[in-house]
Chains A and B, each alone.
Chain A
Amino acid sequence: MSVTRADVERIAELARLELGEQELGRLTSELNGILGHIGQLASLDLAATSDLTPQIRSPLPATRPEGAEEADVLRQSPASFAPDWREGFFVVPPPPGVHREPSE
């Protein structure tokens, strides 16, 4: 269990994290230290063990009742806290390679 610097760059891309050169080097070393410790799980014989532990030992099934689907009443309108809000929508920058029309 170990990662290379190239692995770390790829993981950062997946995680949408922009890391500097120093951070990449430090994280490669730290992640390898942590993964080394985690490696002791490999000594367990897990062939007959389920990964579906009944974590929630609730007396009742964990299901959401119909009434709970109603939207919360917010104390403020999204327009008051959204970075950009037009005609009932949150406005975000365009996807990579797509340019906004000059009129926008």
Chain B
Amino acid sequence: MTHDAGSALARIAESEAGPGGLNAFLSLADADDVQPRANGPLAGAPVAVKDNISTTALPTTCGSRLLDGYQAPYEATVVRKLRDAGGVVIGKTNLDEFGMGSSTENSAYGPTLNPHDRSRVPGGSSGGSAAAIAAGYTTMALGSDTGGSVRQPASFCGVVGIKPTYGRVSRYGLAAFASSLDQVGVLGRTVTDAATLLGAISGHDPHDATTADTPVPDYADDVGRGVAGMVVGVPAEYFPDALDPAIRSLLESGLERLVEAGARLEKVSLAHTSYAIPAYYLLAPAEASSNLARYDGVRFGVRQEGSDIASMYEKTRRGFGDEVKRRIMLGTYALSAGYYDEYYGTAQRARSLITQDFAEVFARVDVLFTPTAPTTAFSLGERTGDPLAMYMSDVFTVTANLAGIPGVSVPVGYVDGLPVGGQLLAPWWGESTMLAAAGAVEASSPGSLP
């Protein structure tokens, strides 16, 4: 295991060179610029940063040809905070273009491979961050989670991934995808690693009006609190009959261990769960079509000259990949005159029902325990020709984004040698309770990283 930035960079350079690499990183820090630090909660820890988070020392491509070589003129608040806490940015990690995807195959710079099985995807869109931890390159990484993009790759790679409450962490400097859903998240080798990084980057930021000005608890300290007396909800809709029996069995074992540790289980229902994917795939593309209008060759994007400005826009935007174009088209349609209420308005109302389901259930239980994803890591290319099949990878994670609640994926075991994650969901601002439960699941789960 690599604990300092210099040796992490040496190991990455050695392992990622040539055809045997995972393609987890899009750029790496210069070893000469990396100064070890002993102060702060991160105390010199190497941290990988998803390449849709702005850094001034390294390019920020968002996995897109449109931002090839783009150097941000300012730094994201989360990067400044992690450096202030003693963390060292060792490199920028691969992702689905602008965060749009569930496999990291939509990167313009090629797919990232899963360290557990290189014929499989690492999940996405924060696949580079998850793979970097699973490969032992680092113990901590930043990601972003709009519909499950931290938790699903954490599940596929056997690491821990946290999506905080909407408003817990600043998004200043995060390339916007769907602004009512986006959150910066963290990934770690252990729950404590992830909780430590979350504590370092959380808090109010005057540059992001959606952040809350409330104290940040000591999340790392919460991890060992235990679950004695905690009520864990088990939502029926997340354990459908079609769920892989081997995944179901691992989740049920996790629930049994929570009971042994002092928790009580309660069966609950989140009745509108099946409407989450339809609502999400209207709302997220609608917001994306608006946010991505800035990639026009004037404000952002490598300009392709045209005879007039309309032609320049279109030639420049040829640089988007297929999935990004698909979502811009879907979102533009959903927002177009005559369809706004039928699509966007309906999806927002469905979102209200999903949020209300959570509010009612959290009046009775402290946390919910679910699978993170319906499958283990799938094969490279298996779903690239079927957008709907790819979207269904997020079926258990998008609900947290729609409602704005926190969620964490914790490894619970293996099926056929591939990791499986269990997801804990908590009420708004309930990270402390959620991490206590995650710590208990982790402490009782078998398994090790490759």
Q: Is the CB of B298 within 8 A of A90?
A: yes
A57 to B318, CA, bound (A): 39
Q: Is the CB of B387 within 8 A of A33?
A: yes
Interface 1/0 per residue, B173-211 and A, CB below 8 Å: 000000010000000000000000000000000110111
A59 to B56, CA, bound (A): 32
Q: Answer whether A65 and B206 are a contact pair too, CB < 8 Å, given A16-B296, A17-B325, A95-B308.
A: yes
What B residues does A54 contact at CB under 8 A? 355
Q: Is the CB of B73 within 8 A of A3?
A: no
Residue in contact with A53 in the complex, picked from B274, B320, B332, B355, CB distance below 8 Å: B355
Q: Answer whether A41 and B329 are a contact pair too, CB < 8 Å, given A55-B355, A62-B210, A76-B71.
A: no
Within 8 A of B (CB), among A69-104: 72-76, 78, 81, 83, 90, 92-98
What B residues does A19 contact at CB under 8 A? 325
Q: How many residues of B contact A (CB 8 A)?
A: 70
A91 to B303, CA, bound (A): 12
A23 to B324, CA, bound (A): 13
Interface 1/0 per residue, B277-297 and A, CB below 8 Å: 111011000000100010011
Shortest beta-carbon distance, A74 to chain B, in Å? 4
Q: Answer whether A40 and B274 are a contact pair too, CB < 8 Å, given A53-B348, A62-B210.
A: yes
A65 to B205, CA, bound (A): 10
A33 to B278, CA, bound (A): 12
What B residues does A17 contact at CB under 8 A? 314, 317, 320, 325, 328-329
Does A60 touch B at the CB level, under 8 Å? yes
Does A6 touch B at the CB level, under 8 Å? no
Residue in contact with A27 in the complex, picked from B166, B282, B326, CB distance below 8 Å: B326
What B residues does A93 contact at CB under 8 A? 305-309, 311-312
What A residues does B312 contact at CB under 8 A? 92-93
Q: Is the CB of A34 within 8 A of B209?
A: no
A42 to B278, CA, bound (A): 10
What B residues does A15 contact at CB under 8 A? 289, 328-329, 332
What B residues does A33 contact at CB under 8 A? 387-388
Q: Is the CB of B310 within 8 A of A94?
A: no
A50 to B332, CA, bound (A): 23
Q: Is the CB of A38 within 8 A of B281?
A: yes
What A residues does B39 contact at CB under 8 A? none
Residue in contact with B351 in the complex, picked from A18, A34, A53, A90, CB distance below 8 Å: A53
Q: Answer whether A63 and B209 are a contact pair too, CB < 8 Å, given A37-B277, A51-B345, A56-B167.
A: yes
Shortest beta-carbon distance, A73 to chain B, in Å? 8
A19 to B353, CA, bound (A): 37
Within 8 A of A (CB), among B257-284: 272, 274-275, 277-279, 281-282
Q: How many residues of A contact B (CB 8 A)?
A: 59
Within 8 A of A (CB), among B38-62: 56
Does B212 touch A at the CB level, under 8 Å? yes
Does B85 touch A at the CB level, under 8 Å? no
Residue in contact with B349 in the complex, picked from A27, A51, A90, A92, CB distance below 8 Å: A51
A15 to B353, CA, bound (A): 30
A11 to B289, CA, bound (A): 11
Q: Is the CB of B353 within 8 A of A58?
A: no
A53 to B352, CA, bound (A): 5
Does B239 touch A at the CB level, under 8 Å? no
Q: Answer whether A74 and B206 are a contact pair too, CB < 8 Å, given A16-B314, A33-B388, A53-B352.
A: no
Within 8 A of B (CB), among A20-54: 23, 27, 30-31, 33-34, 37-42, 44, 46, 49-54
Does B233 touch A at the CB level, under 8 Å? no
What B residues does A56 contact at CB under 8 A? 166-167, 210, 404
Q: Is the CB of B212 within 8 A of A46?
A: no
What A residues does B71 contact at CB under 8 A? 76, 81
22 contacts between A and B (CB under 8 A): A7-B333, A11-B332, A15-B332, A33-B388, A40-B274, A40-B275, A42-B346, A44-B349, A49-B353, A50-B349, A51-B348, A56-B210, A56-B404, A57-B166, A57-B404, A57-B428, A75-B73, A92-B312, A93-B307, A93-B309, A95-B308, A96-B311
- Chain A positions near chain B (C-beta within 8 angstroms): 3, 7-8, 11-12, 14-19, 23, 27, 30-31, 33-34, 37-42, 44, 46, 49-60, 62-65, 67-68, 72-76, 78, 81, 83, 90, 92-98
Further pairs besides A17-B317, A34-B391, A41-B275: 13, Cβ < 8 Å: A17-B325, A17-B329, A18-B317, A57-B404, A57-B429, A59-B212, A62-B167, A74-B74, A75-B73, A81-B73, A92-B298, A92-B312, A95-B310
